[in-house]
Amino acid sequence: QNRRMAPVRHDPDKEAFAELCDITEGLLPIHLPDTQEYVEWIHPAFRDDIIRSLHEGRFSVQAYLDLHGFIVPEAEEELDDFLTDSLKKGFCCVKVIHGRGLRSVKGARLKDVVVKRLSGHFRKDIIAYVTARQCDGGLGALYVLLRKK
């Protein structure tokens, strides 16, 4: 006897909901690059694979700055001092913890400040920056790869 099997119908909404449930229950990790909060930038003179290596934590973090609790003007000053000092010391990789702005009415203002400073004033001193691994702060932190002076 020849029976035809009915094709299995996939419901993308059900599949997405099931995956989301697995993530919230800790059964599946969040793939940070798939989120809207993920940030990455690389200087055009460098190879794109550096971003992947940086995001995967293959560079040793030599110093970090935690901006939790700072207001925007203080955060800008702290970041400038930290990056200037890190460059003087010849550091290769640093981490900036900016938080996600979850308690802020205006959202992730410190993150915006950090990205703006990195892509503006300090652009010439940076090879790349990217959202940190989950164990290093995830969406609330950035790894920054510095150029040697």
Q: Cα(39)–Cα(20) distance, rounded to whole angstroms?
A: 22
Specify the pLDDT at position 53.
93
With H, G, I as helix, E, B as strand and everything else as coil, classify residue 13: helix
Provide the β-strand partners of residue 129: 41, 144
Specify the pLDDT at position 38.
80
Number of Cα atoms under 13 Å in the Cβ half of residue 122: 29
Specify the pLDDT at position 9.
73
Q: What is the pTM of this model?
A: 0.77
Ranges of residues in the chain whose predicted pLDDT is under 50:
none
Chain segment 72-99, per-residue pLDDT in tens:
899 999 999 999 999 999 999 999 999 8
**Which residues, 6+ apart, have CB-to-CB distance to 88 below 8 Å?**
149
Specify the pLDDT at position 31.
59
- CB distance 92 to 59 below 8 Å: yes
